[in-house]
Structure 1
């Protein structure tokens, strides 16, 4: 190709002794495009190119001018003393390549301390992070893409929490390119929502602002960190008339920035404004609903300018006060006490509220968002979740419930179950595909936040794995623990576990329906397993087994088994021949365990050799969910205290 003079070419971004690697890549591309790169790789005597000395000298001069032209004036003057292009190239590499290596520690520190900013598109910031990673990678140590994906997710801002959660929920491992694509899509969605917010007039809900004597600025909704800036209007001369809305001089009622006067009595379901007489700057948004929330729940209210509660027991440093609060309808409510509330959030951080007022007639405990804003807290809302931040650091969160945001406290996490609404299908999988009615009863009794808005009528896995037969009706039931034990042996010889187990045996207490499951290699282990079970439960409960019911299997009717029960004073009860329904409780338990393990294995895609682990997990779950014949869980009746659910994961 024809070559122009180096001074006539398009000049590259001049190198100023920073970011040598990027400059080197650009210069190499330029030299290769002009077919002069070979002149810096070797001298004329050792070159492998088929050129004569005249062509070599011509290309070498062109390359030298090209290199000097790509340096800033200060460096060009320094390296102009070198006569050949190869000498300039080698000196640059020797000097700046070494410094590039020495600065890798600083690049590494910058890489690991990198954090995405919420107010800048993540896609743009991701390019900078990828560039830092490329500078760290060399021939000896390269970061794996999967590790880099997790690092990107960990560096996302708190506003992207839902995006991070969805990425972690993906069963298949996500690639770096896929993550970049998902981030780009999410950036576009956020940008679209921002444009909609700018185009639509903003609406403030339950917000109250008392106009100051020195300023007539309109109220700004709290918690919206992305609210569009108001355009400053040219100052107009104040009118001297009296406002018939607020009673102030200096403007007309049509221009009044204060709340509009209510002409009619407000309906009961609308949030009412309550004015504290003792402090003219204090307002409280009272909820006129007939439903009273739990005393330990705290709700964020943008219309309240003081913190209020209906439970004195939630406060410390309590003092007696005699005050009254008035609502816009003219009613008055007594304030009996004031104190300090210390709230431990689900994030582990503590929020201390000073001078919280006790209003016994209040239906909800309210936290003033305006006071939190004055203290330096910011609010961001997205998809029914409000994120609380202090100095751009995550502090806590609140969730939208029936039109208001409830603060997520540490005591809201019942047995460490997340306070967010749980998909019924997800909870159904976590509980080993138990019956939907039983799952709803558990959620209701244990305060598990189940999302009832999601319709869940049919589980295809349950339909494939569960077949029922009507049991015989139970004649009578025990009145205490260990009065009657049901037992049955289930055969899995066609699918042995990894440990060689081929059978499972169940021991079920008739009173509590608490079940013990043991895995056996052969049927002749039944007798020894029963003795282990008997010693264990009698030692734990300090009670004796009185009756033992089973089918007519040879493992239960063997002479040794009968003699042992007779010597221990245990009455053996066997079912009628060819009627497994007579031992209905044990047969039903085997059927339920088999259905659950099949459902769990099918859902997880595990081989049948893991049936042993699945059946032990299924029994662990069944002991902790409410039984249809009981008013409690088998675990609570057996152990005497409620169980925990923080170990249930999917």
Structure 2
């Protein structure tokens, strides 16, 4: 359905008129929406049609044994879920598997199995359907069952959070008769002790063996393809709203005592790690309005966020469920709507990818963007790339104050300004070497060379083990610029260092008809743009390392992250567009940015863990992986590098990656530390995009990362 809605189905159907662009879009849509376990089947597919065919062949089994097993499971289908929606979802999934195996049952058979599988509390409704002379469809039956479930939950609602049935409480508490009305078990069986002849509310056996040492509740937990994982399912079985994304919470408080929920999938227990308020934009049927979901539970392992219809009803709202939609009303006025997909209802909410943020998160974005100046941050807010932030000036930041302190620079003369302006073209590249930097990086690098396209200010940095590697780095830079942007470099401007004045560099420049321009000895001001860039780069790197508490040897990762940040933000010389936009003709996304060194949790693929091992590992954020839509992380346990796209961040609390922090993060030995750049202090120049292992091209399109609903 998603590919059809985007006009991409032709790539799957084999339509010869499908353009190459749509073929690539369809291929990307399939691959990027697969889980890690499914990705292995299509990772080397060349086309969308091939990827689709592989998935179809993997999931469609037509052998006799499979059909017999499906029929047996269908014939013995029983109610084992925590909510009616979860139960229906399991039945729907089973029916779909049978249809794919060419043994699909009729709608009448599905209705019969659903009625037979219901618990005793639905007996009166089951008898009404069986005695009815009027025909009814499966959708009619499901709608009635969900409505009946909502009615039963309202009648049996208790103080503790419940989902489908009452949550287990602490201690030997006996509910008052007027508070709880429990359904009668089979043949008058007590739900508490299992004996016949009395109800659970009158049971004298206390809580017995069912008593738990911590709070528990249950929720219908189900995954459904066709909607993004950040969508919200309207669930009648969950009495509390539940969200899996920590960043979606506007207000948040961690849970300090053990609490769990039970899913409809084999009674899997999921941990509740916090609660708070989530802000969404929802569609009422006539307009978009802001909605606050209070007392929302943070359940990290959910595959979908859950919008509780029971919680909405508890706040005085009414829920109307029809064949294809759901309407939530307050006093007769619609306040939210949902639409049906399969047998699930999805909340009509704003799942856009624009970067919204609360007013008090301006400082958070200052940290995410490598402690960039508030002038640059305000320009980003003003052009609409960050929604909801306030424009601030002169905000005191201790990290910036101690890591960016410099002498006041001289004013730029008119002659220097004219010379600089006339040379602003991407055919002119200025370069400088940074270092030696102590200590060496984890990969053994002690230097970094920078190359700046003077018109766009797009900066590329290569880490080096020794200065003599500058020539080979420039050769790679030249080829990549020519391939990526079509720009042919004509001038290379640098100082008189031996790394630029050598036979290898001279031979390459002559072969490519590149003119080398050198500064006058002891006058680095003539290469002011490169000098100023190095200063900006060092300041951002120093700030990020200081705040994160990471070891000094991670300067290379901080350097790369700082360069990525500056290339996607506007600057004083190009106020209306970023360097990335000028080079690649595309506005970069920033909603995937995170605070360097922030504590996070990366998902561990099931192929790399045992059944009872943790599915996540605690890490620290090191930057953005090159040429992949993934994050680069540091494993907090063993210090290894982790590459993952399934990551949960904890940015709101500053977590130090090491026990000690050095005020002087690292030392840079310059030939002349008294050099002042030819640019003024208040002029923002973007820092370079860097490469860590000299394995990837220096110029690359900024990876966009799809995020969930902005709140």
Normalised by the size of structure 1, how large is the TM-score? 0.43
Higher relative contact order (CA 8 A, sep 6+): 2
Higher Rg: 1
